[in-house]
């Protein structure tokens, strides 16, 4: 039996939802159709993609590996169908693109690779920098565009941006943690546990803002700029952390499981998008990149000064 695009889409929806019933509602099909599609997909691949439990489903190790490929397949097909029917070889130019650390590691590479394949006459010079340097570079004209955490942008007078994706933040914890017996936990609950604080891309500043809105504070035992260090320490039961789904992977480098669960108190999303100087005028190359990214992520957009 051959794989179908429908099976892959149903698999992705289930992985995102964590429940077959919720996935069926999200994509407006019957639950039995999702179940049958996943079963057929597992038979074709020869491996279980999900562990079934009373609360829903969670990806197996094989399922997690397949998810990356599945998302790439769907994104490539969507782009092929939705990109404007123009001769892309006619788009030429040079883009000086700034990226923040988290974006460079967990978001941009597959999209940038497809853009470069689709627009062979556009040269993209990528520079990694922190938020303040990116903002200064956009205003000074050192950078044409940036793909960054738009939720962190300070100078919103001189910098325009469009948000591509809002990634929810959830609690990370080890597979044996007592919190998993509950459906959700509060910041008060979390404050009683050892906490691993991520610092890269001003993550600790963001965390401090939403903690400050509560009467509680995290019991931080370790601060690190490495997402993989957080993942490993959480997986080994050394502490817990609230981080974005964009950087979540269910397995640490040593093969230990990292679980996630919702936080009942308000925690902001981590927003990723494209930013540019308000005074900048788009050229064919920057317009093509911006349009491509919106198509790749799945949102409509025309390059312009309006903010998200």
- pLDDT for 37-78, tens place per residue? 999 999 888 899 998 887 788 888 888 889 888 888 887 776
Q: Which domain holds residue 260?
A: 169-268
Residue 288 within a domain:
yes
- Asked if 102 and 235 sit in the same domain, the reply is no
- When divided into structural domains, the chain yields a total of 3
pLDDT at 11: 92
**Do 148 and 194 fall into the same domain?**
no
- Specify if 303 maps to a domain: no
Backbone dihedral angles phi then psi of residue 228, each to the nearest 5 degrees? -65, -30
From the list 63, 61, 60, 51, the residue with the least C-alpha distance to 12 is 63
Is 305 domain-assigned? no
Determine the pLDDT at residue 299: 43
Of the candidates 142, 134, 259, 248, which has an alpha carbon nearest to the alpha carbon of residue 201? 134
CB-CB contact of 105 with 231 (8 Å): no
Domain end among 26, 55, 82: 82
Q: Are the CB atoms for 304 and 182 separated by under 8 Å?
A: no
| Residue 229 shares a structural domain with residue 278 | no
Distance CA 78, CA 31 (A): 24
Please state the pTM of the whole predicted model: 0.73
Q: Are residues 189 and 261 in the same domain?
A: yes
14, 87, 89, 102: which is closest to 51 by C-alpha?
14
Q: What are the φ and ψ backbone dihedral angles of 61, each rounded to 5 degrees?
A: -60, -45
For residue 213, what are its two tokens? 């809105």
Four-residue CA torsion sign, 261, 264, 269, 270: negative
What is the pLDDT, as a whole number, of residue 183? 81
- Is residue 302 one of the residues assigned to a domain? no
Indicate the residue among 82, 100, 130 that finishes a domain: 82
Same domain, 282 and 262: no
Q: What is the pLDDT of residue 188?
A: 97
Residues 177 and 147 occupy one common structural domain: no
Gap between the Cα atoms of 240 and 192, Å rounded: 10
CATH number reported for the structural domain that contains residue 73 in this entry = 1.10.10.10
Q: Clarify whether residues 199 and 115 are in a common domain.
A: no
The per-residue pLDDT for 1 is 56
Beta bridge partners of 170: 243
282 and 264, same structural domain?
A: no
Beta bridge partners, 145, equal: 97
DSSP string, 75-107: HHHHHHHHS-SS-GGG--EEEEEEE-HHHHHHT
Residues 146 and 282 reside in one and the same domain: yes
Max Cα–Cα distance, the chain, nearest Å: 59
Q: How far apart are CA 57 and CA 175, in angstroms?
A: 14
Listed as ranges, residues in the chain with pLDDT below 50 are 85, 299-308
135 vs 156: CA distance, rounded Å: 10
Report the alpha-carbon distance of residue 77 to residue 175 in Å, rounded. Answer: 36
> Are residues 220 and 285 both part of a single domain?
no
Whether 194 is in a domain gets the answer: yes
Asked if residue 155 and residue 20 are part of one domain, the reply reads no
Residue 118: CATH number of its domain: 3.40.190.10
Same domain, yes or no: 276 and 211: no
Is the residue at 306 inside a domain? no
Is the residue at 304 inside a domain? no
The pLDDT score that the predictor gives to residue 294 is 85
β-strand 194-198 against 219-224: which pairing, if any? parallel
């Amino acid at each position: 039996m051959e794989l179908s695009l429908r099976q892959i889409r149903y698999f992705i929806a289930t992985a995102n939802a964590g429940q077959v019933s919720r996935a069926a509602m999200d994509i407006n099909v019957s639950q039995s159709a999702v179940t049958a599609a996943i079963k057929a997909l597992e038979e074709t691949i020869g491996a279980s993609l999900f562990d079934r439990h009373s609360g829903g489903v969670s990806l197996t190790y094989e399922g997690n590996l397949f998810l990356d490929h599945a998302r790439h397949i769907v994104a490539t097909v969507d782009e092929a169908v939705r990109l404007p029917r123009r001769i892309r070889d006619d788009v030429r130019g040079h883009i000086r693109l700034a990226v923040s650390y988290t974006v460079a590691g967990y978001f941009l590479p597959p999209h940038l690779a497809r853009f470069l394949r689709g627009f062979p006459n556009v040269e993209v010079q990528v520079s990694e920098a922190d938020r303040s340097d990116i903002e200064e570079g956009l205003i000074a004209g050192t950078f044409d565009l940036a793909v960054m955490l738009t939720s962190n942008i300070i100078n919103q007078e001189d910098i325009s941006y469009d948000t591509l994706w809002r990634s929810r933040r959830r609690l990370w914890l080890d597979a044996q943690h007592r919190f998993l017996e509950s459906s959700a936990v509060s910041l008060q609950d979390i404050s009683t546990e050892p906490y691993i604080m991520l610092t890269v891309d001003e993550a600790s500043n963001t965390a401090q803002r939403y903690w400050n809105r509560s009467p509680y504070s995290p019991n931080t035992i370790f601060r690190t700029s490495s997402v993989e260090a957080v993942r490993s320490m959480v997986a080994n039961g050394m502490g817990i952390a609230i981080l974005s789904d964009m950087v979540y992977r269910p397995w640490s480098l040593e093969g230990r499981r990292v679980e996630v669960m919702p936080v009942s108190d308000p925690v902001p999303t981590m927003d990723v998008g494209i930013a540019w100087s308000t005074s900048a005028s788009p050229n064919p190359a920057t317009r093509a990149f911006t349009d491509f990214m919106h198509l790749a992520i799945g949102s409509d957009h025309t390059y312009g000064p309006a903010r998200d």
